[in-house]
């Protein structure tokens, strides 16, 4: 469906009024008014017929499935499409162009994409469908969806989208990460520091889907952050599949980095931290094999860097870790946790775990349970193993039943609730900084602490506090739950 720019509609309304008052013949009058008011007709033909080369504005809708990196990519797709003349439309059935940013990390995410495409085809059959993200380079997916998808777009090919859409005259840099994003909110922004992964964990589709690791130049990242801070953003989240392997050659010898030859993640973190402004810095994800003492020290020393480490363990059993190609042992992982807790006692630690990896016995799973109890996580994303085409583990038999995977997930969840609640207990009566992010349906403000804990504000002065969204405030914690805190704003 095509929809004209608001100005064109305004013009048509005026024209309708003009016809109404000026044409005397009632038949011509009615016919003209009907024609002009017909719902802009199939593909805007009626408007085109009347106005010749009217510049019809097309509308896009992006549907994002998956991780932070996909969310961030969608912001770049948005920025790009607006640059080539499209306008955002939240309701997918009103859009001319639908971009489905897919995730292939688990079968469930893949199935969501299939379901969505079928629904879109039924509800908005004239829309063009662009498929990007994890599934865009899978040949089996291309065969399955060849009738339904109009444009296949691996995200690094984003700069070529205008050509595929038949738009002439716009040139873009070859590197899609250089495209200016349209951020989803005004408080918190993802800033990708690179793309891809070289680790080849045997269960994981990311190295195939996103390709090898490529990192952005530090000056480009700094410029993006500077712009965000200037606009008033309060939380900068540096993201990559494995931030710890960030490395670029120093091309700009500024006061920050003139003695550096190569720039590593810790250097980048310090550079971002040293920028003037009142903002927090988060980063994800850290691969345990690459988490250095320098990074732990940097979290402690850099005033703007939040005390939260997301450290995916994936398993607590050495044999499974080896079969996963994670390159660390259970003891090495636990030693790392111990070190972080000792150096940064208030730090919260979160993780990703996979249950039911091929061949995972009850005993091996018990080792993961023990790891859970020892690590005392604040939060964990527990996934049931899902065989992925093109990965090394796909050659192994997926022999742990769905029921057993679910039971193992539940067991870990139980432990997590206990450790998280206990960790949160330390906050009772404490005064902590919080970034106010929004308000819930009841009108209560909510936000996050530096340790990434969600806080709900209890207050009767809702009207006054509503204005504080996007601000740092002090809250006194009065109550805790397993995955959240409750408190009152002090100032």
Report the interface residues with ligand SAH, using CB under 6 A: 105-106, 203-204, 206, 241-242, 285, 287, 312, 314, 352, 354, 383, 385-386, 388
- Comparing CB distances to ligand SF4, the nearer of 79 and 211 is 211
Q: Kindly report the number of other CB atoms within 10 A of residue 198's CB atom.
A: 11
Neighbouring-strand partners of residue 248 = 263
- Comparing CB distances to ligand SF4, the nearer of 242 and 315 is 242
**How large is the greatest C-alpha to C-alpha distance in the chain, in angstroms?**
91
Question: Which of ligand SF4, ligand SAH, none binds 106 (CB below 5-8 Å, type-dependent)?
Answer: ligand SAH
Rg (CA), the chain: 26
Q: Which stretch binds ligand SF4 (CB under 6 A): 192-200, 253-261, 303-311, 470-478?
A: 192-200
Q: Shortest gap between Cβ of 357 and ligand SAH (angstroms)?
A: 8
Site for ligand SF4 in 241-270 (CB under 6 A): 241-242
Q: Does 353 bind ligand SF4 (CB under 6 A)?
A: no
Q: Distance (Å, rounded) from C-alpha 264 to C-alpha 193?
A: 11
Q: Which stretch binds ligand SF4 (CB under 6 A): 204-212, 288-296, 357-365, 469-477?
A: 204-212
ω into residue 285 within 30 of 0, thus cis? yes
Question: Which of ligand SAH, ligand SF4, none binds 405 (CB below 5-8 Å, type-dependent)?
Answer: none
Q: Shortest gap between Cβ of 362 and ligand SF4 (angstroms)?
A: 24
Question: Which of ligand SF4, ligand SAH, none binds 207 (CB below 5-8 Å, type-dependent)?
Answer: ligand SF4
Continuous segment of H or E residues that includes residue 136 = none
b/e code 216-250 from CB counts within 10 Å (16+ = b): bbbbbbbebbeebbeeebbbbbbbbbbbbbbebeb
Site for ligand SF4 in 214-243 (CB under 6 A): 241-242
Q: Distance (Å, rounded) from C-alpha 245 to C-alpha 283?
A: 13
Question: Which of ligand SAH, ligand SF4, none binds 385 (CB below 5-8 Å, type-dependent)?
Answer: ligand SAH
Q: Does 381 bind ligand SF4 (CB under 6 A)?
A: no
Q: Does 49 bind ligand SF4 (CB under 6 A)?
A: no
Question: Which of ligand SAH, ligand SF4, none binds 388 (CB below 5-8 Å, type-dependent)?
Answer: ligand SAH
Indicate the SS3 state at residue 484: strand
| Strand 484-489 with 87-88, pairing | unpaired
| Strand 214-215 with 194-195, pairing | antiparallel
Neighbouring-strand partners of residue 20 = none
Q: Distance (Å, rounded) from C-alpha 338 to C-alpha 352?
A: 18
Q: In this structure, what are the phi and psi dihedrals at residue 418, rounded to the nearest 5 degrees?
A: -70, -50
- Comparing CB distances to ligand SAH, the nearer of 282 and 388 is 388
Q: Does 323 bind ligand SF4 (CB under 6 A)?
A: no
Q: Which stretch binds ligand SF4 (CB under 6 A): 31-39, 203-211, 447-455, 472-480?
A: 203-211
Indicate the SS3 state at residue 480: strand
Q: Shortest gap between Cβ of 245 and ligand SF4 (angstroms)?
A: 9
Continuous segment of H or E residues that includes residue 143 = helix 139-144
Nearest to 367 by CA among 413, 310, 401, 320: 320
Q: Distance (Å, rounded) from C-alpha 455 to C-alpha 444?
A: 10
- Comparing CB distances to ligand SF4, the nearer of 288 and 447 is 288
- Comparing CB distances to ligand SAH, the nearer of 134 and 450 is 134
- Comparing CB distances to ligand SAH, the nearer of 117 and 354 is 354
Q: Does 295 bind ligand SF4 (CB under 6 A)?
A: no
Give the residue, chosen from 120, 193, 206, 229, that forms a contact with ligand SF4 under the rule CB under 6 A. Answer: 206
């Amino acid at each position: 469906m095509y929809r004209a720019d608001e100005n064109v509609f305004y013009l048509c309304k005026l024209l309708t009024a003009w016809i109404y008052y000026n044409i005397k013949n009632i038949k011509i009058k009615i016919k003209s008014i009907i024609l002009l008011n017909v719902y802009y007709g199939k593909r805007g033909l009626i408007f085109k017929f009347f106005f010749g080369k009217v510049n019809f504005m097309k509308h896009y809708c992006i549907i994002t499935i998956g991780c932070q990196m996909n969310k961030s990519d969608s912001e770049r797709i948005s920025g790009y499409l607006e640059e080539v003349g499209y306008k955002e439309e939240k309701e997918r059935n009103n859009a001319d162009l639908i971009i489905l940013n897919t995730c292939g990390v688990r079968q469930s995410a893949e199935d969501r994409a299939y379901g969505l495409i079928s629904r879109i085809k039924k509800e908005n059959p004239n829309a063009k469908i662009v498929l990007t993200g994890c599934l865009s380079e899978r040949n089996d997916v291309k065969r399955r969806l060849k009738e339904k998808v109009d444009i296949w777009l691996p995200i690094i090919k984003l700069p070529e989208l205008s050509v595929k859409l038949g738009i002439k005259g716009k040139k873009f840099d070859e590197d899609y990460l250089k495209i200016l994003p349209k951020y989803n909110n005004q408080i918190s922004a993802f800033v990708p520091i690179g793309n891809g992964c070289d680790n080849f964990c045997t269960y994981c589709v990311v190295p195939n889907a996103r390709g090898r690791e490529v990192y952005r130049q530090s000056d480009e990242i700094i410029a993006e952050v500077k712009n965000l801070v200037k606009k008033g953003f309060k939380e900068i989240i540096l993201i990559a599949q494995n931030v710890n392997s960030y490395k670029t050659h120093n091309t700009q010898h500024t006061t920050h980095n003139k003695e550096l030859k190569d720039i590593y993640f810790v250097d980048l973190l310090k550079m971002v931290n040293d920028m003037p402004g009142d903002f927090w810095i988060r980063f994800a994800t850290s691969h345990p094999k690459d988490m250095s003492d320098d990074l732990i020290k940097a979290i402690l020393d850099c005033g703007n860097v939040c005390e939260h480490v997301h450290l995916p363990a994936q398993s607590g059993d050495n044999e499974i870790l080896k079969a996963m190609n994670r390159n660390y042992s259970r003891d090495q992982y636990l030693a790392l946790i111990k070190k972080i807790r000792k150096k940064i006692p208030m730090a919260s630690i979160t993780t990703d775990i996979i249950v039911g990896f091929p061949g995972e016995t009850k005993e091996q799973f018990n080792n993961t349970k023990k790891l859970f109890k020892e690590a005392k996580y604040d939060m964990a994303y527990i996934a049931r193993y899902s065989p992925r085409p093109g990965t090394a583990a796909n050659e192994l038999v997926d022999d742990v039943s769905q029921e057993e995977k679910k039971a193992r997930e539940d067991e870990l969840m139980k432990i997590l609730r206990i450790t998280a609640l206990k960790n949160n207990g330390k906050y009772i009566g404490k005064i902590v900084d919080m970034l106010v992010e929004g308000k819930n349906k009841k009108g209560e403000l909510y936000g996050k602490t530096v340790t990434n804990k969600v806080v709900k504000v209890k207050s009767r002065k809702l009207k006054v506090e509503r204005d504080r969204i996007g601000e740092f405030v002090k809250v006194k914690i009065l109550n805790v739950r397993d995955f959240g805190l409750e408190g009152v704003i002090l100032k």
